Structure 1
Amino acid sequence: MTNRKVLLVAYSCEPGFSSEKEVGWKWSQLLSSHCDLYVLTRSNNKEVIESYLYENGISTNVRFIYYDLPYWAKFWKKGERGLYLYYALWQFFGILKCRALHKSIGFDITHYLTFGSLLLPQFAFLMPTKYVLGPVGGGENVPLPYLKDFSIKGKAQIYFRYAYQKLQKINPIFIANCHFADSILARTPESRNLIPSCYHSKTELCLETGTPEELLSRSDNRLSKFDVLTIVTVGRLIPTKVNILTLRAIRRFKQLYGRPFKFIIVGEGPERNLLESYCSKYDLDEVEFLGWQKREKVFELVSKSDIYFSTTFKEGGTWAFFEAVALEIPIVCLKLCGPDIIVPDDGGVKIPPQEVDITAQLLAEGLLDLAYDPSKRKALSANALSHIKNTLSWNSIVDKTIIKYEEVMK
């Protein structure tokens, strides 16, 4: 496979970060040892990439193709909608640039990676090569009964997402990507279901993130615990991640547990005022809002806690879950999307979404079960750690991708 020339399309690709930026960087570094890799990414990423390589004395086989829209177009990036317009135009003109380079380089495979969403317009299917799409998400959403706790803006966003997902059936760019892809990697079952059934035969499940190897060798998980039972969550304070359902469950847990504990929320976002008001209304003095913290501080907080708790609705390979599992902290979460893949059935407490109050009650009972049983916490975390080591390592993800490359070339 080393003689194959692969073009990786990674709008986000920067070292030293998490989320999409790290996804692009990690995939590029791992794939480069298996093929002749070229990475199309933003010119804006060049300084960070070259500084990182120089400061860390790293030699890479990756050849970067840097491209950006003209400087005057950057005003479109203001606000989320503007970002997506800029992204779509970048994808289109970036691919046109690579089509021109193809005449001299002769790419064998084009692989679209970031932003990995089926709902965003991108044009890698225009490359006259074999085409691998993904891992991509976009099919995940919030179950409608949970919208009653959302703000008007939050409800509008989710209803729009539902409508937009339905419209993909007649979206020519979406259909073209599915049709021309020789292989499709879907992050979650929900995203696979968004893809028309006639293309399911060439679609497989694959998360976009793997187990962070540096966490597996850390000793943070042997730090002494907090002096009272501590539950922690990490994420943006938005309706789909750290939300009112989170606090509904904590409120019910407080009633059931009847002992001192604390719930640490690491993150920031537009829902903070709403969440703090809920805590004040129901006397949830146990809840601590810490805002965003440096990564080392987050590791310390998670490793010293007893339980990781999340009610995120539509994530794929969420970094926070990998970190909690790697630090051997048992997880209580909803049984859907990425968390259901990362946390095995025997490695955590996963609650299928039902009616809101019932779900909050079951989540609280799951927390209570682990609060009373340290041995069960230890057993679940051990099973989860074994699961991510054996099935969700970066090497296993890359090996699957290289096999896909070989298959599409045949």
Structure 2
Amino acid sequence: MGLPFKKPVWRGFYFHRELLRNSNQSAIENFFLKNKMPNNLNFLYFDFPSKFTRWKKGSRGVHFYYVLWQWGAYKQVKAIHKEKPFDLVHHITFASVRQPSFMGNLGIPFIFGPVAGGEKAPWRLRFRFGMRGFLLDSIRDVINFFVRFDPFMRMTFKQADRIYVTSYQTKKLIPKGYHKKIKIKLAIGIDKKGLFDSFGEKKLNYNILYIGRFLYWKGMDIGIYAFNKLLKNEPFARLTMVGKGKEKKRWMNLVRKLKIEDRVDWIPWVDRDSISDIFNRHNILLFPSLHDSGGMVVLEAMAHGLPVVCLALGGPGIIVNTLSGKKIPVHGKSIKKIEFELYDAIRYLLPPLSFKRYSQGALHRAKDFTWTKLVSSIYSKPIK
């Protein structure tokens, strides 16, 4: 992403990426029909002819196409740089530690990231994935192992003046010789307009919420077992599952096996206007993801005053602190132990006094992750 500036041009709504694929152009132009465009912001667009874009269809072709796109984008920026020099270049997307950038070849200050991808589910928890999930995660481990040996990635790490990664696990994938350049920084944020000052008169109930894709590594099989334990002591509790995905059938079968169908509600994806209403009808977000690099729903829930119960892994493990929810350490623990601790955390947060304290803590913590603060933290110190 080419970004010429004397001062940060982003002001906390979304990252305005200077160099994008052509398919982004109409969305950007429509946005600025309704919003004022900063005078110091310009967009460049690059894409290959349509006969090449078919390569990006499918999970395998898209990665090859992306590397080609990065090279073509670099060549375009290089030509422009000769006429109108850039001060700095910042690579943002793909936000993957497995995908290189060639922008460091411009010979100007180069920021790489935040990038993700090193988050890893503990082995003992993978036995709940099913055969397909277990195999996919094992393949992912092998691919991640070779990141440190990839010549394109080593070039990227070497040329970068700063490297931002979303977790300590991702940092471990990068050769130690470059660790002095690395800082931990999430690649997600929220708009100030999405923050609330208080949780208002939220009705206290025992409604637990999960929002997200129904995927094997989201950990909701563990979450469902934890909720089942909660019902033994709080029989009026409810769990709402919002989303869709390949694991829906397996999770629904688990709910039937535990005979708790009458306490679990299933809602497909909803539009953003409906999300706030869903948050306001619940008191706790349960999000036991095993390797989420971010966890946008965690920020959104906290911005609505919901304490979060998660695992101490990936992005959620960084976002949630001791005042905004409960994060469960997993290393060295059995699945049964983790299920119990998730249940215990939910039960701890349910009483009115506890909920109000942690709800305020969630609102306060969400303010640490605005786009404005994220951008300012990256550009506050000049690159020497």
Using structure 1 for the length normalisation, give the TM-score.
0.86
SS in structure 1 of the partner of residue 18 of structure 2? strand
- Tell me how far apart the structure 1 counterparts of residues 60 and 366 of structure 2 sit (CA, whole Å): 35
Could you tell me which amino acid in structure 1 is paired with residue 55 of structure 2?
W
Alignment of 1:249 with 2:226, yes or no, is: yes
Match of 1:47 in 2: 26
Equivalent in the alignment of 1:386 = 364
1:66 has 2:54 as partner: no
Cα distance in 1, alignment partners of residues 234 and 322 from structure 2: 28
Residue 208 (structure 1) shift: 1.5
Structure 2 match to 1:112: 91
Aligned to 1:12: none
The 1-side partners of 2:109 and 2:191 are apart by 30
1:152 correspondence with 2:131: yes
Gaps of 5+ in 2: none
Partner of 2:271: 294
Query: Is the partner of 1:240 in helix, strand or coil?
Result: helix
> What secondary structure does 2:251 align onto?
helix
Which of 57, 75, 78 pairs up with 1:96? 75
What is the number of residues matched between the two proteins? 378
Is residue 5–residue 109 contact of structure 1 (8 Å, CA) maintained in 2? no
Match 1:215 to one of 170, 194, 214: 194
Which residue of the partner structure matches residue 256 of structure 2?
Answer: 280
- Compute the displacement of 1:122 (Å): 3.2
Aligned partner letter, 2:15: W
Indicate the residue corresponding to 2:118 in structure 1: 139
RMSD: 2.4
Structure 2 Cα separation of the partners of residues 268 and 123 of structure 1 = 36
Q: 1:395 matched to which residue of 2?
A: 372
Tell me, yes or no, if the aligned pair for 2:74 and 2:103 is still in contact at 8 Å.
yes
Partner of 1:268: 244
Q: Distance in 2 between matches of 1:242 and 1:303?
A: 24
Identity %: 27
SS at match of 1:277: helix
One-letter identity of the residue aligned with 2:76:
K
1:42 touches 1:67 (CA, 8 Å); kept in 2?
A: yes
The 3-state SS of whatever aligns with 1:264 is strand
TM-score for the superposition, normalised by structure 2: 0.92
Q: Which residue of structure 2 lines up, in the alignment, with residue 306 of structure 1?
A: 283
* 1:217 CA displacement: 4.1
1:127 & 1:249 partners in 2: Cα distance? 52
Deviations 1:291-329 (A, max 9, x none): 101112122111220111111122233221111111111
| Inter-partner Cα distance in structure 2 for 1:402 and 1:199 | 20
**Which one of 163, 170, 188 corresponds to residue 184 of structure 1?**
163
2:302/2:365 contact within 8 Å kept:
no
Tell me how far apart the structure 2 counterparts of residues 242 and 399 of structure 1 sit (CA, whole Å): 33
Q: Is the alpha carbon distance of 1:6 and 1:184 closer, same or farther for their aligned partners in structure 2, counting shifts above 3 Å? A: farther
Secondary structure of the residue aligned to 1:68 is coil
- Of 347, 358, 361 in structure 1, the residue corresponding to residue 324 of structure 2 is 347
Asked if structure 2 preserves the Cα contact closer than 8 Å seen for 1:266 and 1:298, the reply is: no
Q: Kindly indicate whether the alpha-carbon contact (under 8 Å) linking 1:142 and 1:314 is maintained by their aligned counterparts in 2.
A: yes
Tell whether 2:352 aligns with 1:374: yes
Give the equivalent residue in structure 2 for 1:76: 55
Counterpart CA distance in 1 for 2:337 and 2:235 is 23
Q: Provide the C-alpha distance between the structure 2 equivalents of 1:403 and 1:7, rounded to a whole number of angstroms.
A: 9
> Which structure would you say has the larger RCO, counting Cα contacts within 8 Å and 6 or more residues apart?
2
Is the 8 Å Cα contact of residues 88 and 109 (structure 2) preserved in structure 1? yes
Contact 2:87 2:109 in 1 (8 A): yes
Decide whether the 8 Å contact of 1:41 with 1:65 is kept in 2.
yes
SS at match of 2:92: strand
Q: What is the distance in 1 between the residues matched to 2:146 and 2:36?
A: 48
CA offset digits 1:221-257 (Å, max 9, x no partner): 446538x5100011110011253112121122222x2
Letter in 1 for 2:279: V
Deviates more, 1:122-131 or 1:375-384: 122-131
CA distance in 2, matches of 1:262, 1:168: 43
Residue identity matched to 1:182: D
1:71 & 1:218 partners in 2: Cα distance? 48
